[in-house]
Amino acid sequence: MASTNQSASPQRWFPWALGGLVAVFGVGRFAGLCNDLWLDEIWSLRLVQQLRSPAEILTRLWHDNNHPLNSLWLYLVGPDQPAWAYRLLSWFMGTATVGLAGLIVQRQYQQLHPDETPARAGVAGLIAATLVGGSYFLIHFSSEARGYGPAVGFGFLALYALGRAPERPASGWGFVYGLSCVLGLLSHLVAFQVLLAGLVWSGVKLFTNWSAWRDRLVHLLCWQAGPWLFLGLYYLGFVRKVQVGGGPKLALGEVLGTLSAFSLGFPGGKGGVGAMLVFLVVTILALVLLLRRDRAMAGFYAMGVFVAPAIVQMFSRFGLLYPRYFIVSAALGLLLAGYALVRLAVCGRGRMGLMGRIGPIAAGGLLTGFLIGNGLHTGRLVRDGRGQYQAALRYIAKRTPAGAITVSSDLDFRNFGVMDYYKAAVGPAHRLHYYPTQQPPPEGLQWIFLHRLDESTPVPPDALHDAAGRDYQLVRVFPHAPLSGWEWYVYRNLDPAILPAEPR
């Protein structure tokens, strides 16, 4: 009876503990919703507003900023809604991802270590949920009106389905897996990594679990035929027609360093190199541990984290690299990190003294550092958002006489797109008049805005001088939190004939 109670115990406390983590990290993600939309979100919204019906999301809107499932949500929400409403789909799927992470790793741990107590599997699930829930990289993209958060969420649902029925060639979970893959692809093509990883899982299962050819055929039809058939049709009907909107070119090392730093809670910038090394060591170690116990599971993670993104980049025609394109690798890597932390915590079990405690102490210290580092990044997102665009426009309106406000910037496409969307922030007493960068008015501008993407971009100077010899002084910086948007550096014309001086 004691054994029975021990086995049943995690069933009582685990759902409550996991639900608590989901609630906590859901609130944290919601706090990230309540700030200004940045350019790519505005761009997506403007594209959708040109459509006459939802069907045109796939039949007309062939643009890489169109993430179909997110675009459908933007279409349904409609124009002139608060920013958080456009981000609700990402928030919901990002929050669900936390719970799925806990369920996935709990079940995987039970399958890998049937000789250990169910309580330890529950702890493994909670640690994984904490890593996925607390990672700033995932928080950021599950509080943004784009398709990356939903792609990860549906990818996790597909992985959960794989874990629910690994020994049966035909199962209702095969339908869940296929539907999850389809919705993931409609969220963003990064979900293709999950399809490749799932195919590896199936390949291993074909030759280790089922000897009869009929069982193998049933497995392929139930688990893989549907999502791969959809992918082929989706590619022919939509993906191959998509045009790239453009953007800054980043080196692969910089991209992976940024991804690792903001996933693990390291400082940005130079901290990315160390974070990338830690990510590689932890994931490879976890893969080695998995390979000893379950080759199908190890194959899934190896393909999903490392091989699939490499294949995608080799054959992709899009060319540009950004950290968000590797979000599936980061999310799956955090599941591996959760498993590695639990194995570290139990490595000294049965030993007396310091050797028996060093594993749990080390695991607890690493988890604490992870939460502190990512908490600092998340706090900055809540405080600064993806840019303080409305605040900047209200600032110049307050310091400009009623009437037209003349303004320009260092890059028309980025800055005008945001200013035009938020132009109502200047209030009814003003009209925002934006002049292209190379076409200022003869009398000069009242205000100039320079933008800065991140720490790798040079800091703008304290003063500017235009071609006519007019002087502009930096008066305010409006910061932002990485990984989306930018800072605005606001410069004021010092000529009192153009812009009267502020009273002291």
pLDDT at 376: 97
Phi, psi of 157, deg, nearest 5: -65, -40
Residue extents of the structural domains in the chain: 2-384, 389-493
H/E stretch holding 55 reads none
pTM: 0.94
Q: Which residues contact 286 (CB under 8 A, 6 or more apart)?
A: 301, 336, 337, 339, 340, 343
pLDDT at 84: 98
Q: How many Å is the maximal CA-CA distance in the chain?
A: 89
Percent of the chain topping pLDDT 70? 95
Q: Which of 324, 343, 187, 179 is nearest to 263 (CA)?
A: 324
pLDDT at 1: 34
The stretch 177-184 carries a mean pLDDT of: 97
Residue 314 burial (10 A CB sphere; 0-12, 13-18, 19+): exposed
The stretch 480-488 carries a mean pLDDT of: 97
pLDDT at 2: 38
Q: Which residues contact 44 (CB under 8 A, 6 or more apart)?
A: 65, 66, 67, 70, 71, 74, 145, 146
- Tokens at residue 476, please? 């305010």
pLDDT at 3 over 50: no
450 three-class SS = strand
The string of DSSP codes covering 410-433 is S-HHHHHHHHHHTGGGG-TTEEEE
- DSSP secondary structure code for residue 169 in this structure: S
| Cα 77 to Cα 70: distance, rounded to the nearest angstrom | 11
pLDDT at 17: 97
CB–CB of 434/416 below 8 Å? yes
Under the banding of pLDDT at 50, 70 and 90, the label for residue 206 is: confident
Topology annotation, domain 389-493 = D-Maltodextrin-Binding Protein; domain 2 (3.40.190)
CB–CB of 93/149 below 8 Å? yes
398 half-sphere exposure, CB direction, 13 A CA radius? 7
pLDDT at 75: 98
Which tens digits make up the pLDDT trace of 101-134? 999 999 999 999 999 989 999 999 999 999 999 9
